Amino acid sequence: MECVLMEIKEQVAERYRTAALQMLDGETGCCGDSCGPKDYAGVGSLASVSLGCGNPTAVAELKPGESVLDLGSGGGLDVILSARRVAPGGRAIGLDMTPEMLELARRNAREQKVDNVEFMFGTIESIPLPDSSIDVIISNCVINLSTEKPRVFAEMARVLRSEGRVGVSDIVAEDHLTADERATRGDWAGCIAGALSESEYRQGLAEAGFVDIQVDFTSEVGDGLHNAIIRAMRP
């Protein structure tokens, strides 16, 4: 099983590595047919670097002075938008496991002249930040890519401050779909096979200690699969 999980992780990394290199060369990419830039007004061509399935910066209702962490920050769009919303006094951090994506994100931040940002290498299963150091966690169609989601939820709870909040976009399955049925609708790197059901998402967050959990479907991306907004709070 461990070998299978490592193979899936490498497939995901390779897909995003390739996408980053394409965008560094002026092309665009996407995480499957279900995603793309949505509701990103005011950033011009930078929206083409979005590989997500929503706009978590709007979901999270960011405020000046807050610290924001984007899990799986990709080309940096959501980090850049977050940095503008939390200024003055706040900062936005992007975490990604793909060096090529980090290079792309740093280039985009320089071009957008945003300096209250930081991009760091690491995985969402082992976030390289201290306990209780973040006010808000966002993520855009990334948590579904992890093969160790309980660890992701536990790490989110660890780095959030008390009353810190989560506002993420993700792909979520209806409860009646089994894991095998999800796998027939798309591969893991394409954001489908690894999608949790609504009940599984709620349970995973609750077991990590989160409260006030909301899972709201926004649009259908396949039979029994939806773009969704997920909100929660750390007590």
Q: Where are the domains of the chain?
A: 2-233
pLDDT for position 160: 98
Q: Is the pTM of this model over 0.85?
A: no
Of 70, 111, 112, 114, the C-alpha closest to 94 is 70
138: how many CB neighbours lie within 10 A of its CB? Answer: 31
> Helix, strand, or coil here: 2?
helix
Output the tens digit of pLDDT for each of the chain's 235 residues.
Answer: 444 345 555 665 666 666 656 666 665 544 444 444 444 444 444 554 445 556 677 777 899 999 999 999 988 999 999 999 999 999 999 999 989 889 999 999 999 999 999 999 999 999 999 999 999 999 998 999 898 999 999 999 999 999 999 999 999 999 998 877 777 655 544 556 688 999 999 999 999 999 999 999 999 988 889 999 999 999 9
2-233: CATH number = 3.40.50.150
Residue corresponding to tokens 């790197």: 189
Q: How far is CA 76 from CA 50, 96, 159, in A?
A: 8, 10, 20
pLDDT for position 10: 63
Do 232 and 205 contact (CB within 8 A), yes or no?
Answer: yes
Burial class for 213, CB neighbours closer than 10 Å (0-12, 13-18, 19+): middle
Do 155 and 174 contact (CB within 8 A), yes or no?
Answer: no
Of 33, 32, 35, 30, the C-alpha closest to 49 is 30
